[in-house]
């Protein structure tokens, strides 16, 4: 019942969980000239949503399921599934950092067994989508709502970063985001197909360009964003 | 929350942890110089940790490590994604994480100093992050700055006006600054420094010792 409101809170960039410092690869894409304006950005966002976005949404949906019946072993296994779907070490680290901060923040907002057990099971920080799904469960969301929030933040973070880095017209960029609505729905739908505990079938789309950008970003001396 | 969680999740209240001191102020006013000075003066008597919020790179953290005023591992740098004030005011998660990491690794600590990225006169620390805060101005911004007010100048627990050695060069009138600051600060303290000349910023260090002692008394029963 409270799921809609909780989903909005979780998807809001104002959620104080450290997300503002991550660009989802956009900063490096801007630096190497892969994003120079709205057209490039639109393609970047679409590609990100179809790959990392879907994977992230599927993991969040699965985590939301686990959150309804939390057990340390299940958290650890799902976190390992996330680990093997995030190939670049730089992205793994960014994902775990964001996950740790998200758990810290959401435990205070929605105190719950789901989040307590995740924090204990993966003390160094669960992957971000796993943490997001756990928080969604704690807040009363359904898996589909967790998936939507995850897919949504996977494109809003780079869009906001591009606005800041390139001085793009923010209204135009929001229009690009609005144009993604059907794709966002598709991503959330794809994310929720697998419901059982056999997570090996969860989507595992690779995005080698994003992996490379993440690794280069870590080696770039001058940067504003963590990832 | 369940009672038996033994992971490192600190209560948001002050019990059993170090005093968290925010140091904010405009770009280049001397925040890092003040952090270094406080480490010099207080390092021998207090257990310290430092968190820096750099805009680009890890310049401030690197400067402090090179200065050798505190163990390099006791300094953590937070990145702020284009928005230094967001990281200290609206979304403090990464800073809290850094502070608690220092406390877990080196604790118990007496004082954790958090330096904000250089920002504007409206940038102040959230109470969720800093227990007390210092706002650092310098005289070269002009003697009108305290009069302009802004939450940093008006609400900080201590206002530091640094680089007094430059006052004659930039034609800044320190008595004007002092009078205007007093007017908008409702009796809260203001200190004038030249960290270039006083490498230990002793007047500020003395004020910090006072608030650390007070903090310790307030929370002593739980330490
Ligand atoms: N003349 C003079 N220069 C000072 C004084 N204190 C600091 N400086 C110099 O001012 C410059 C900026 O000092 P920082 O300590 O880096 O200033 P900051 O506020 O940390 O700067 P950001 O972090 O970049 O916003 C450096 O070149 C310092 O050496 C002072 O008391 N007098
Ligand atoms: Mg500095």
Domains of chain B listed by start with CATH number:
19-215 (3.40.50.300)
pLDDT for A10 beyond 80: yes
Query: pLDDT by residue (tens digit) across A43-100?
Result: 999 999 999 999 999 999 999 999 999 999 999 999 999 999 999 999 999 999 999 9
pLDDT bucket at B142, cuts 50 / 70 / 90 = confident
**CA end-to-end span of chain B, whole Å?**
22
Mean pLDDT throughout B198-204? Answer: 97
Mean pLDDT throughout A211-219? Answer: 94
In CATH, A21-218 is 1.10.4190.10: yes
Residue from the list B1, B7, B57 with its beta carbon closest to the beta carbon of A222: B57
User: How far does the CA of residue A131 sit from the closest CA of chain B (Å)?
Assistant: 15
Relative to the alpha carbon of B119, which ligand is closest? Answer: 1
Does residue B118 line the site of ligand 1, with CB under 6 A?
A: yes
Searching chain B, which residue's CA lies closest to the CA of residue A158? B81
Q: Which two tokens stand for residue A95?
A: 């994902």
Diameter of chain B measured on Cα atoms? 62
Does residue B32 line the site of ligand 1, with CB under 6 A?
A: yes
The CA-CA-CA angle for residues B64, B70, B76, to 5°, reads 60
User: How far is Cα A100 from Cα A75, in angstroms, rounded to an integer?
Assistant: 14
Q: Where are the domains of chain A?
A: 21-218
CB-CB under 8 Å, A119 with B56: no
Query: pLDDT by residue (tens digit) across B96-135?
Result: 999 999 999 998 999 999 999 888 888 899 999 999 999 9
How far is CA B31 from its chain centroid?
7
A31 C-alpha to center of ligand 2: Å? 25
CB-CB under 8 Å, B93 with A14: no
- Coil, helix or strand for B191? strand
User: How far is Cα A204 from Cα A64, in angstroms, rounded to an integer?
Assistant: 18
The answer to whether the pTM exceeds 0.80 is yes
Nearest residue to A37 via CA among A183, A214, A176: A176
Does residue B52 line the site of ligand 1, with CB under 6 A?
A: no
Q: Which two tokens stand for residue B86?
A: 């967001």
Residue B155 annotated in ligand binding: no
Among B25, B29, B30, B118, which residue has the most ligand 1 atoms within 8 Å of its CB, making it the best to mutate? B30
pLDDT for B51 beyond 70: yes
The CA-CA-CA angle for residues B206, B211, B214, to 5°, reads 125
Worst-scoring range by mean pLDDT, A17-26, A168-177, B5-14, B73-82? B5-14
Nearest atom, ligand 1, residue B35 CA:
15
Worst-scoring range by mean pLDDT, A154-158, A183-187, B60-64, B191-195? B60-64
């Amino acid at each position: 019942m409270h799921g809609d409101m909780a989903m909005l809170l979780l998807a809001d960039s104002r959620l104080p969980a450290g997300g503002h410092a991550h660009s989802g690869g956009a900063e490096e894409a801007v630096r190497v000239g892969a994003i120079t304006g709205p057209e490039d950005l639109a393609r970047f966002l679409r590609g990100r949503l179809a790959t990392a976005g879907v994977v992230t949404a599927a993991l969040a949906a699965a985590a939301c399921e686990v959150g309804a019946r939390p057990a340390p072993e299940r958290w650890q296994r799902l976190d390992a599934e996330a680990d093997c779907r995030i190939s670049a070490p730089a992205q793994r680290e960014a994902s775990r950092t964001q996950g740790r901060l998200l758990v810290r923040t959401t435990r205070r907002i929605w105190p719950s067994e789901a989040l307590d057990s995740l924090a204990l099971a993966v003390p160094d920080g669960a992957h971000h989508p796993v943490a997001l799904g756990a928080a969604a469960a704690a807040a009363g969301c359904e898996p589909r709502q967790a998936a939507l929030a995850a897919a949504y933040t996977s494109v809003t973070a780079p869009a906001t970063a591009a606005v800041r880095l390139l001085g793009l017209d923010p209204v135009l960029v929001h229009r690009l985001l609005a144009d993604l609505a059907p794709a966002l729905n598709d991503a959330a739908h794809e994310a929720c197909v697998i419901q059982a505990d056999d997570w090996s079938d969860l989507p595992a789309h690779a995005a080698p360009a994003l992996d490379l950008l993440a690794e280069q970003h870590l080696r770039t001396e001058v940067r504003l964003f963590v990832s | 929350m369940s009672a038996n969680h033994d992971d490192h999740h600190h209560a948001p209240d002050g019990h059993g942890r170090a005093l968290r001191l925010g140091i904010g102020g405009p770009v280049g006013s001397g925040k890092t110089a003040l952090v270094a000075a406080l480490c010099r003066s207080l390092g021998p008597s207090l257990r310290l940790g430092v968190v820096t919020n750099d805009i680009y790179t890890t310049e401030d953290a690197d400067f402090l490590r090179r200065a050798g005023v505190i163990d390099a591992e006791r300094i953590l740098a937070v990145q702020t994604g284009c928005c230094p004030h967001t990281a200290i005011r609206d979304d403090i998660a990464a800073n809290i994480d850094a502070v608690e990491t220092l406390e877990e690794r080196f604790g118990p600590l007496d004082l954790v100093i958090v330096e904000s990225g250089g920002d504007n006169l409206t940038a102040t620390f959230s109470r969720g992050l800093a227990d007390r805060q210092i706002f650092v101005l310098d005289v070269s911004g002009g003697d009108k700055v305290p009069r302009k007010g802004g939450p940093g100048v008006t609400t900080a627990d201590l206002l530091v006006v640094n680089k007094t050695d430059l006052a004659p060069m930039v034609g800044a009138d320190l008595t004007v600054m002092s009078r205007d600051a007093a007017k908008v600060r409702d009796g809260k303290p203001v200190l004038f420094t030249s960290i270039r000349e006083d490498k230990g910023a002793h007047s500020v260090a003395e004020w910090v010792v006072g608030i650390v002692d007070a903090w310790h008394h307030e929370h002593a029963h739980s330490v």
